[in-house]
Structure 1
């Protein structure tokens, strides 16, 4: 099985006003004080190489760095904490050095990621990959020849791995959108980005394939494939045509055990990236139509089993959601959708992409094959619900004197660990090996309610009260499994 992975990171509503200018595919922007003259349209020659193109667009390709806090994976062999809820929360065990019983280590880790991005409007809109900036607490952008600056995350669409950032501070050089639909296999392409965090790098190749899907990378896949060398850190960088136009956002590479370039990279086509950006700028999110079916591709064997010609192309309906647009339209399990709005479908990916491009409330005509006959149906699309975001992971507060790390009690954590709403305090998420807190018998999952008989309702309050104690022993009141007990921690 081919494994394709997002390029990833190293180490690891704002509305558009009428005056803002979004880059157009054609004609190219007129030369201005921030624009390199359009010499990229000159014919590529052996003498000039690709330098005219690179000089035109390189100022608009930026480095993107972000900081976020993540839950590290946990070994399976943790006694008591082998429950899935605890395994997801706690990190690897460590020996506390006292009674020989291992204790879970810190649960939350700081992760710094490095990727790339492309400025696509004079006002400073940047397109990058969602996985570069998603759940980040801080995002910064470094422009060629300019100081690093903070960037605002305007919106993220994980279903296409596209995110939009906004820079402030005047006008910016930008790269115009090209027509990714006109890209042909064999066309030259340049990949520009920040591989391995070493700085802006340009590589050259060709378009190896178009319309790549079913890679298991994101929900909506219509990738351009290229052999231009792209590596970790290229995420969000530019794939450029010979007119100096943006035709794709570099997103993933083929991975078969190796970590770097193997000559097979994937880019979100500019047409899709631009459509996502425009919806984010207008609505703050991407609004998609929903039919309410589970589908799969028609294979010759499946077509034969369903009593259809082996060359049948389209999407087999394997399930229909109750109350959905599909059910109301009369779609049934086993139907093969072969055309949408009079246009033939090639496979399930084709149907999925076309439905996603439609709007809620749109009426679509479907032609399906059912029991050897053709049936015409009309469906009124629902709105595809937004995926429920995970609760942001906050950095744990550390009380260095006690050797314990604590986190705020969120609704998610209360639900996961069965902590009642009336329990107020700070949740223990990690203990240092041989620390005073570990020797006193505290463990991950305990909730610290009091410090020296003073109630604490947050990690910040806990740390403040512990620091005020100085070098004296600290009397804690801890909640564990529905019971409270006093714990004396001596330094």
Structure 2
């Protein structure tokens, strides 16, 4: 691969050469007329010690239902499932966010299922890590190590990022060792990719490859702006489209993991959709950014704050939002009890309201959407031998697949489920289309999730 000058260096060098005599050089000089060229090296010398390698070992357990013919052959005491265990190893990256306490952030998918997590520091030390907590819906995990002389990254305000800002990705791709790439912010608020349940990604063209997951995306001050998480890679390698979880969202999640050992997700209590051109024209609006509120759940945080169906939510804590998905992701990563200032448009007038977020529970629409995107809009509640649908929001994904109030989910494909926990586990282990077995009145039917 050919060496390229960083974007910052290229821009400054071009400006310099316009006002200075041409100098014939066989290679890029360290200085021109005594003026040293800009370099990312001084910033990286301070930053790279905070990015670590994460090596994991564990055992994958897979269950396969035995066909009825085999169970008949082996007798009535034959097991219903065949269990297989397969050892695995994996590599990823992590970021030290607190040097004194040894806290390290990485991706949940990097450490998921691991029995042992080993941290490789920049100075060559290897230290076993303790898992503090994870959040699968946002793909964040918090680790802790006991070590001295650690370096941590300072967090930037990721809400201040703009398209075109320079970025630097640091990680351990392909197990090669620490690698640094540079680029720009290509887009903000990316969602609808199906990578995670709650998506509000920073998109960057800084090269991100396998093994970069959990690594740092920093600005030119060496401040953390995001955690590298995913790539669009049809051929299996970098094609210039990578995604990072914004640092502000990470900070909200980490504070909950430290305090509770889990994420206690905040809930606003609305269902809705992105504001599009058709809706904007129908409501006579001059904006096409925001979240349109289809329905407000009774006694929810939104209801108590005075939000009404037909409102368009355009900002959170004075920061503009582009879509309902961005609203959902930001609210979902704030803790229960958080006080949130929401900017809304109602009948063409701008208003500001304050909501105190409720806590996601087994009976919230937000919890349903976290279980599976096509269940969003349904209110779930555990009942005897199943999960009941107590409400279905009009126009929601749950309504579109045919769920009705009073339905009870009793199985996934050929497996029975008894509660929301089992429903979530079955859907997580399933790939492609899955069939929900529904008890409706005294009959059974299947509805397909894709």
So what's the TM-score if we normalise by structure 1? 0.56
**Which residue of the partner structure matches residue 183 of structure 2?**
205
Is the aligned partner of 1:283 residue 2:273? no
How much is the aligned-residue C-alpha RMSD, in angstroms? 4.1
Instruction: Give distance in 2, aligned partners of 1:374 and 1:204.
Output: 40
Change in 2 beyond 3 A, CA 1:366/1:268: closer
Q: 1:127 to 1:301 in 2, by over 3 A?
A: same
Match of 1:237 in 2: 215
Deviations 1:36-72 (A, max 9, x none): xxxxxxxxx9767433233222222111022333355
Distance across 1 between alignment mates of 2:320 and 2:185? 25
| 1:416-465 deviation line (CA, Å, top 9, x unaligned) | 6799xxxxxxxxxxxxxxxxxxxxxxxxxxxxxxxxxxxxxxxxxxxxxx
Q: Secondary structure at the match of 2:114?
A: coil
User: Larger Rg: 1 or 2?
Assistant: 1
- With over 3 angstroms needed to count, the CA separation of the structure-2 counterparts of 1:374 and 1:250, relative to structure 1, is closer
Contact 1:339 1:368 in 2 (8 A): no
Cα distance in 2 between the residues matched to 1:81 and 1:141: 48
2:128 alignment partner in structure 1:
150
CA distance in 1: counterparts of 2:165 and 2:96, whole angstroms? 23
Query: CA 1:149–1:313 in structure 2 vs 1: closer, same or farther (change >3 Å)?
Result: closer
Matched, 1:384 2:374: no
SS of corresponding position for 2:98:
coil
Q: Does 1:271 align with 2:261?
A: no
CA distance in 2, matches of 1:375, 1:49: 46
Deviation digits for residues 232-284 of structure 1 (CA, Å, limit 9, x no counterpart): 110011122222222221111113x3211011111122232223223322332
Whether 1:113 and 2:113 are equivalent positions in the alignment is no
The correspondence of residues 56-455 of structure 1 with structure 2, limited to 5 A, is: 56-72=46-62, 79-80=67-68, 107-123=84-100, 124-255=102-233, 257-304=234-281, 308-309=284-285, 311=287, 313-321=289-297, 324-326=300-302, 335-338=311-314, 345-356=321-332, 357=334, 359-360=336-337, 362=339, 367=344, 369=346, 380-385=356-361
**Deviation of the 1:231 alpha carbon:** 0.4
Q: Offset of 1:167 from its aligned partner?
A: 0.7
Structure 2 distance, partners of 1:166, 1:310, is 48
Show CA shifts across 1:8-42 (max 9, x none). xxxxxxxxxxxxxxxxxxxxxxxxxxxxxxxxxxx
Distance 1:313 1:225, change over 3 A: closer
User: d(CA) in 1 for partners of 2:178 and 2:266?
Assistant: 38
Shift of 1:140: 1.1
Q: Distance in 2 between matches of 1:343 and 1:178?
A: 15
Q: Secondary structure at the match of 1:172?
A: coil
Distance 1:69 1:112 in 2: 9
Cα gap change, 1:380 to 1:130, in 2 (>3 Å): same
Classify 1:353/1:321 alpha carbon distance in 2 versus 1 (closer, same or farther; 3 Å).
same
Q: Give the alignment's TM-score, normalised by structure 2.
A: 0.61
Q: Is the 8 A contact 2:189 2:322 kept in 1?
A: no
Cα distance in 2 for residues equivalent to 1:50 and 1:341: 33
CA gap of 1:108–1:326, structure 2 versus 1, over 3 A, is farther
Q: Which has the higher contact order (CA 8 A, sep 6+)?
A: 1
Q: Deviations over 1:111-153 (max 9, x none)?
A: 3221001112222211111221233222111113333221011
- 1:323 offset after TM fit, Å? 5.1
Contact 1:290 1:360 in 2 (8 A): no
Distance in 2 of aligned mates of 1:48 and 1:376: 45
**Quick one: structure 1 residues 368 and 70, their matched pair in 2 at CA, closer, same or farther if it must change by over 3 Å?**
farther
Say which SS state the counterpart of residue 58 (structure 1) adopts. helix
Q: In the alignment, which residue of structure 2 is the partner of 1:5?
A: none
Bigger helix share: 2
Q: Normalized per residue, which structure has more strand?
A: 2
Output the CA distance in 1 between the equivalents of 2:340 and 2:171. Answer: 41
- Assess, with a 3 A threshold, how the Cα gap between structure 1 residues 180 and 74 changes in structure 2: closer, same or farther: same
Q: How many residues align?
A: 329
